[in-house]
Every structure is written in C-alpha cells, then in structure tokens.
Amino acid sequence: MSEHSTFSSVLTSRERTAVPAKSLSFVEGVSMIVGTNIGAGVLSIAYASSKAGFLPLLFWLVVVGSLTTITMLYVAESTLRTRKHLQLSGLSHRYVGRFGALMMFLSVCVNSIGALTAYMTGSGKLLHSLFGISPALGSALFFIPAAGVLYLG
C-alpha cells in the first residue's frame, strides 16, 4: 500500500485496515511511545516509591526498563524484516500465528485500560486541586473524552 492510497483503494485491495496508512516520522513514533509509557508511569512512580522505598523502586525500574528495551528491539527487528505495513497484532499473527495475534490484542487492551485508569485517577486529583470539584467527578470528566479516543483508535 502506498503512502498516497485512498480509502476506497484500501477497501478494494482487501486489506484489513480502517484508514489509509500514513508513515510516521522517527520523531512522531518516538514521541508516541514515550508519551504513552512515561506519562502513565510517572503517575505511579511517586506512589510506588512511597510504599516500597527508593532501592526496590530503582531495582525494578532497571529490570523492567531492560526488558522493555529488549522487547522493543525485537519488535523493531521484526518490523524492519517485514516488508509490509503491519501493526503489532499483524506482526504477531505473521510470526506466532492466530494465538499470538489474540494475545497481542489482549495485551494492548489491558495496557490501554491500565493507562486510562492511571490517567483517570491522576486527572481526577488534579482537577480536584485546581477547581475544587470532587475527585470522582474530575475522573469522570477525564474518562469520557479519553475513552472516546481509545474507542475510535
């Protein structure tokens, strides 16, 4: 599929995608990954360090950071070796099979729900401190548009 494909040409080529693909620049791709993962993680670091202490937190940050880096290098390698534009579930289906695609889909769903929960909690507290509304109402005010974004993709 070329960068200049129209929506109708994508549908007629029988590819399973909702919109025409647009290649991300390097900066856009890095920004998307960093913004999603660091944003939700920063909300939990202060809480985790207050409960566990600094040294256990540092240990787990190094372990999880290393595993995440290795995983992303595997994804980058398989993406570079695959000449087609595929998302994570498509890569999983190609290299691991139907079960891999299902597991990838479920893991992305769980990750999205976890990030939404973390952002919702943090936003509720932030809106409470800024506007004096209840944290539950602040969380709901954040949840409605954020869930819409997740639903629409």
Task: Give the CA count within 13 Å in the CB-facing half-sphere of 7.
Answer: 2
Q: How do residues 99-130 score in pLDDT, each as one tens digit?
A: 999 999 999 889 888 888 888 888 898 899 99
Helix (H) or strand (E) holding 21: none
C-alpha 132/C-alpha 151 separation (Å) is 29
pLDDT, mean over the chain: 81
Q: How do residues 42-62 score in pLDDT, each as one tens digit?
A: 767 777 788 889 899 899 889
The residues near 23 (Cβ < 8 Å, ≥ 6 apart) are 3, 85
Q: How far apart are the first and last CA of the chain?
A: 20
Domain range list for the chain: 40-152
Distance from chain centroid for Cα 38: 10
